[in-house]
Amino acid sequence: MADAVDTILVVEDEPSLVETLEYNLARQGYQVLTARDGVAALDVARREKPDAILLDVMLPGIDGFEVCRILRRETSVPILMLTARDDEIDKVVGLEVGADDYLTKPFSMRELVARVKALLRRARLIREQAVAGGPPGPAAERLTFGNLTLDLTRRELQMGGAAVALKPKEYELLVYLARNRGMALSRDQILAKVWGWDFAGGTRTVDVHVRWLRAKIEADPAQPVRIITVRGTGYRFEG
């Protein structure tokens, strides 16, 4: 039986770029869907459930940031944001609303295809781990630290018995820190393990996600006792 073909949704309002992306992605064997504005993007994403989304920031109507924010509440589909400005603020905002990666225009098709492959590869690995990660039988694999419990089988976090909503990368970061409790981990080390060696973003990405996690799991995010900053190195999880 032939392998399933990955579907890529391209959300872009520039016709020539849409045509170029369609052509190059199709050459790589992907099925390509397109949307020219934010409303259409949400409609296609919900209806077709693509395997990855290329999402332009500047769109008619609803911009790419808002589309990403809405989709991230509904799905963990990998999202690669495309921005025309090489602006650190754009990149940080994109990550804050849940994008997995970003690419600044103009970009080479080779780099874009490499980023898409990396996103799909990581998503596939996560799915495989979710299927095979837990031990057989009804017992789930859990990490527990006081009132904080990570259910690795269900990919869920609970605090005091209540579910805490985490973005996909927040969850992966917390699991990595928790599995290495008490160890000082560098930002580069965290970036490589959680985002992958092929992620082009900088270590600022780690700091942003740590800040989000602290807001959700620390009693006082300004005085963290679970995720500790190790000056000159990175972070250490104390549980």
**Interacting residues of 149 by C-beta distance below 8 A, sequence separation 6+:** 142, 143, 157, 158, 159
Which domains does the chain carry? 7-131 (3.40.50.2300), 142-237 (1.10.10.10)
pLDDT of residue 43: 95
The 234-237 sheet, strands edge to edge: 184-186, 234-237, 227-230
The model's pTM: 0.61
Q: Are 217 and 148 in contact (CB under 8 A)?
A: yes
pLDDT digits (tens, 9 = 90+) for 218-228: 999 999 999 99
pLDDT digits (tens, 9 = 90+) for 12-54: 999 999 999 999 999 999 999 999 999 999 999 999 999 999 9
